[in-house]
Amino acid sequence: MKKIISILCFFVGYALANNGFVTYEVDGVKYEGYYSSPSKDAPLVFMVHDWDGLTDYEVKRAKMLFDLGYATFAVDLFGKGVRPTETAEKKKLTGELYQNRAKMKRLLYAGLNEAKKLNANVSNAVGIGYCFGGAGILELARSGADLKSFIPFHGGLATPEGEDYSKTKGSIVVFHGSADKSVSIQDFANLTMELEKAGIHHEMITYSGAPHAFSVFGSKRYHKVADESSWKRFTEILETTLKK
């Protein structure tokens, strides 16, 4: 009994010590990610936030993954304390990174490196992103990042001029709303053809009636069926892709 209690205390202690916000620097600027891990060597989900920065939404998703036995590192692409609330500021911050893909990649890889410093299991990991973060996770895929899968939820799907998927190492799974007015179904179709041509294993899933940002809890755009269906498929992919 004492041994069982000791083991339980170890895991509880580990979880408490490995959950919370993490400050790190990139090019002299401070950024603040979020890391949670239920146990040593837990499979990792590398997460990229929406255009309003790393907020309670990403933390809630990380807690959902924690309960399923997965670690999460949510990267910060805007800077510590930069959490825009006005549309103009959101467009400005995301626009700067869309125009400077090299910086976007530096920040993404800085997040991966920080996760590694925290002893996250980066060799047994997938990447996900929401909206703007979906575009970011596909940027990471095209750069040749060594993740097992890249999964955008209602993300930007267009490929920038001069880029392709020739370096992509993992599979790609896209969750898209058929009623999305921000990311066209033509972008969805174009990406499908790109991935097929490049020989990248992929799943391309659309949900009827689902708008852009369909997974954002409590918002006017929230679409229960699309959110729950995509999350269910996502967790199935985690089970078959990552080693526990």
| Tokens read off for 51 | 């255009």
Mean pLDDT, range 22-46, rounded to an integer: 97
- Look up residue 10 and give its amino acid: F
Examine the pLDDT at 7 and tell me if it is beyond 80: no
d(CA 105, CA 111): 10
* pLDDT class of 12 with cuts at 50, 70, 90: very low
Note the pTM of the prediction, 2 decimals: 0.93
| Tokens read off for 216 | 């954002």
**Inter-axis angle of helices 132-143 and 101-117, to 10 degrees?**
80
* pLDDT class of 154 with cuts at 50, 70, 90: very high
* pLDDT class of 4 with cuts at 50, 70, 90: very low
Domain boundaries, the chain: 2-241
Examine the pLDDT at 17 and tell me if it is beyond 90: no
206 closest CA partner among 217, 106, 186: 186
**What is the H or E stretch that residue 113 is in?**
helix 101-117
- For 168-205, the pLDDT digits (tens) are 999 999 999 999 999 999 999 999 999 999 999 999 99
- Write down the pLDDT at residue 244: 77
d(CA 84, CA 91): 9
d(CA 159, CA 136): 11
In eight-state DSSP terms, residue 182 is: S
- Write down the pLDDT at residue 15: 52
Contacts of 150 (CB under 8 A, 6+ apart): 126, 127, 128, 137, 138, 140, 141, 168, 170, 171, 172, 173
Mean pLDDT, range 233-239, rounded to an integer: 98
What percent of the chain stands above pLDDT 90?
92
Mean pLDDT, range 125-131, rounded to an integer: 98
Superfamily of domain 2-241: Alpha/Beta hydrolase fold, catalytic domain (3.40.50.1820)
